Structure 1
Amino acid sequence: MNMQTIPLNGGITAYSDQGEGVPVVLLHGFCGSSAYWDEVVPLLAQGCRVIVPDLRGHGGSSARAEQVYTMDNFAGDVASLADALDTERVVLLGHSLGGYATLAFADKYPDKLLGFGLIHSTAFPDDEKGKEGRLKSQQTIKEQGLPAFVEGLIPKLFAPSHVETMPEAVRKAKEIGLGTNPEAAVATLEGMRTRPDRNHILSAAKVPVLLAAGTEDQIVPLERAFSVTGERIEQKRITGAGHMSMMEAPGELTKIILDFIGRL
């Protein structure tokens, strides 16, 4: 992707902006980058304007000094970028961590949305076991370094069978993960650990909502992804995909996104 940079909120944000039409913003997951969406963007950009940032401390975007990166921080960065790029209202779709940021955005800036979606994400907060896991992850990064953490994380993101059959995708995801700033990773883990329940944001949404989930997702199981039903909420399951359908089933995910946008 052809990346550009812009000074925003006390740091530098890297992003790509291509295509014309409805503005669609794609947010990647934790220890990811805009490169997660490499196979989806060219397909979407044929009919939409696709804006894909690197979240703070990830990819080409600079880390910020805060000890905690809250989901509101990420949402604020996205809002500032959308304003800088002269988009009045966008379709915001967030993968995993990007989904938590999307919910914070929908909470703070509902008037800036045409629609929004969670891709392999959840409106639930971390449960006690999840919170414990975040603390362990922080400890691993501080004591053993980011590479040790990424090495353990990435295989769990793919459907078990795909770890064997998609070695290239797994390798690419690890490479992307190593581009994360270690202090930013720790600060992001703290933000995820302390994020609130936002199921009420889904329930109260005044715009269409997409919930997409993988049947083989070991990180966010279907019941946590599909936490709310309603006439504005569309639930889509991607059979055989783990937590990374943008790499595991990019064609299917793109079709789901285009169908969703087509119905707005």
Structure 2
Amino acid sequence: MQTFTIEHRKMRYLDLGQGPVIVFGHSYLWDSAMWEPQLELLSQHYRCIVPDLWAHGQSDIAPEKTRSLSDYADNILALLDHLKVEEFSVVGLSVGGMWGAELALKAPGRMKSLTMMDTFIGLEPEVTHQKYFGMLDAIAGAKAIPEPLLDIITPMFFAKDAIDTNPDLVADFRHHLASLKGERVVEVTRIGRMIFGRRDLMDEAAKLTMPVLIMTGAQDMPRPPLESQLMHDAIAGSEYVLVPHAGHISNLEQAQFVTDELMTFLGKIYA
């Protein structure tokens, strides 16, 4: 991991391979390691830059001035400027797709393509907004993720039969959630409020004129396929791919399928 500092806070990131630059954005409650299956192949063809979101992985807590996903997109742009990267593509899953869209709107002339996986750039629906903020309040108050919430949150990220088909993946994620304690988990909830209190970008979707790939797990519970279809309808020329037998973390549940789709899409961009 390498380090980039913003307001005395350290952002950790991977910088692998050579060639056209692909910036990866991981899901909330995960970290850069979730992209390992894709990086194994893509880093042989591209320069892959993979930051840990603030308060995730090895990155510090968010700088005081980073209070929204738009601010975080500015942080990523600062990292790319520091690395003297002029042109890049973004592959973002969940919150990675949300800040990826923010970045595309800020630097449309520099972004070659945008892949948004298991994400939604509209407002959080009111029912889930209230549900998630209630969870975040409970976690921040306890300075841990209580056992009943572990039972609710863990399966939300996976296909319905994942406990049978990917038991180690599910168990490892639950263990990770249980390990979050103290001020660190409080800072994680701060990021959660940025995500679930995000601004509505659907009215600006027409401005996403670069090549766009939208992928979603067929069994994604937090970001159901209907949301991806709405984005696909709003973004002219976008491509839409449904990932079979996958939930929210589709790139891990169907790693080869997702890697193949990314290689095909990026291959057209950088032919």
Aligned partners of 1:217 and 1:243 also within 8 Å: yes
Aligned partners of 1:68 and 1:188 also within 8 Å: no
1:203 corresponds to 2:214 = no
Q: Distance in 1 between matches of 2:175 and 2:87?
A: 33
How far apart are 1:30 and its partner, in Å?
0.8
Aligned partners of 2:215 and 2:240 also within 8 Å: yes
Give the match for residue 80 of structure 1.
78
1:148-159 to structure 2, matched below 5 A, reads 148=146, 149=149, 152-159=152-159
Give the match for residue 185 of structure 1.
188
1:121-132 to structure 2, matched below 5 A, reads 121-132=119-130
Aligned partners of 1:117 and 1:210 also within 8 Å: yes
Scaled by the length of structure 1, the TM-score of the pair is 0.92
Unaligned runs of at least 5 residues, structure 2: none
Aligned-CA RMSD value: 2.0
Aligned partners of 1:103 and 1:201 also within 8 Å: no
Give the match for residue 102 of structure 1.
100
Give the match for residue 144 of structure 1.
142
Q: Distance in 2 between matches of 1:21 and 1:245?
A: 26
Q: Distance in 2 between matches of 1:9 and 1:110?
A: 26
Aligned partners of 2:105 and 2:207 also within 8 Å: no
Q: Distance in 2 between matches of 1:158 and 1:199?
A: 26
Give the match for residue 237 of structure 1.
242
Say how many residue pairs are matched. Answer: 262
Aligned partners of 2:209 and 2:236 also within 8 Å: no
1:263 corresponds to 2:261 = no
Aligned partners of 1:68 and 1:187 also within 8 Å: no
1:50 corresponds to 2:55 = no
How far apart are 1:65 and its partner, in Å?
5.1
Q: 2:219 aligns with which of 189, 200, 216?
A: 216
Change (3 A) 1:151 1:66: farther
How far apart are 1:202 and its partner, in Å?
2.9
Identity rate of aligned residues, in percent? 24
1:168-179 to structure 2, matched below 5 A, reads 168-177=168-177, 178=179
Change (3 A) 1:128 1:120: same
Give the match for residue 160 of structure 1.
160
What are the superposed Cα offsets for residues 69-93 of structure 1, whole Å, 9 maximum, x if unpaired?
3111221121111112221111111
Change (3 A) 1:175 1:108: farther
Change (3 A) 1:192 1:250: same
